[in-house]
Structure 1
Amino acid sequence: MTREEEPVMCQHLLVAADRYHMDRLKLMCEERLHRSIDVGSVADILALAEQHGCHGLRKTCIKFLESPDALDAVLTTDDLEQPSSPSCKQGGQDPASQHPMFLDYLTAMSHT
């Protein structure tokens, strides 16, 4: 497994761990995902955290987005149009349509 594949695998495992109430595995996946948050992954990870009740992971994503440079980069990336999160792909929806608060939050942060 490559370094790029690990966060995607952790996202899939987190979804399964949440579904089957495997709390320890879910926490382990959250810890790995904390370390993989970047401009290209924060939208998917935030959507995943919201959907699966990962409050610490959600806070880390929001803290990452509090940086004006990171927020600007996320707002200009095409990653919002092409979600890679397993939760987002299941319904064919992007993070914004699954979680309207995501774009509201990004928009509010960009105006501060």
Structure 2
Amino acid sequence: MKMKKMELLNIVLLFATINVALSVQDGLLPNGNFEQGPKASQMKGTKVTDPHAIPHWEISGYVEYIKAGQTQGDMLLPVPEGAFAVRLGEDAYIKTRVMNVTNGTFYSLSFNFART
């Protein structure tokens, strides 16, 4: 059977796409979606009390660990990724360390913000 030109072009494009896709290594930061949360003993209500309670992150100030669907009074707290999030109070911060970067390579970090 003879292959049509369009079928051959599609096969070539498929292999080219697979090659590019396999050469790009993409992924999240460790615990980037806060899927690993603090222990109950490291929290007071929703407030995180230990600076190292959230694995791979360090916090300072008033930081809350929020689960999807959680409410505050009659207000639903939006969790952009649908699982867990942190809520920062005034003058609070959360930070992590990015390891194994290559000089001359471009990286992208993205964050979701929601107003409460």
Larger relative contact order (CA 8 Å, sep ≥ 6): 1
Q: TM-score range by the shorter chain?
A: under 0.3
TM-score under structure 1 length normalisation = 0.24
- Identify the structure with the greater strand proportion: 2
TM-score (norm 2): 0.24
**Which has the higher Rg, Structure 1 or Structure 2?**
2
Structure (1/2) with the larger helix percentage? 1
